Homo-oligomer: A and B are copies of this chain.
């Protein structure tokens, strides 16, 4: 396989993976492209490489910056803006996890809490509902907390030990 072919395959795959996980295809593709680019790219560059419109490029670059995983850069002497991706993968994972937690998990947790707090003194049906949603609340909360814990892992010895055991 040749460089150009490999690069394209990578970008397509990353895009597909993204959309399977609820991240829009172009956004994932732009991120992939920037990840493997040695140099920062301009919006033109991105448009040309991925064959997408200016508007699409603009909107998705903005979204990636909102997620904190793509940065704007300026080159001296150049008027254009350039973009680079976060290349530290631990950092990348943490940012994605935190962002999704904030946008999706936290609001869902709120609803779970609300619906599991209805008056349980009534029917058997209601009792079962409250029981299940309460369990779910605890579970999701615990899972969500793990994200924060993982962030701290590298800062403490037991965390590093655990990582070694988990390999």
- CB within 8 Å of B: which residues of A? 1-3, 6-7, 9-10, 13-14, 17, 19-22, 35-38, 87, 89, 93, 104, 108, 111-112, 114-115, 117-118, 122-126, 128-129, 132-133, 135-136, 139, 142-143, 145-146, 149, 158, 162, 165-167
Contacts and interface: CB of A to CB of B under 8 A. Distances in A.
A83 to B, nearest CB: 16
Nearest to A150: B166
Copies per complex of this chain = 2
Q: Which of A104, A133, A158 has the most CB of B within 10 A?
A: A133
A85 to B, nearest CB: 9
Contacts of A38: 124-125, 128-129
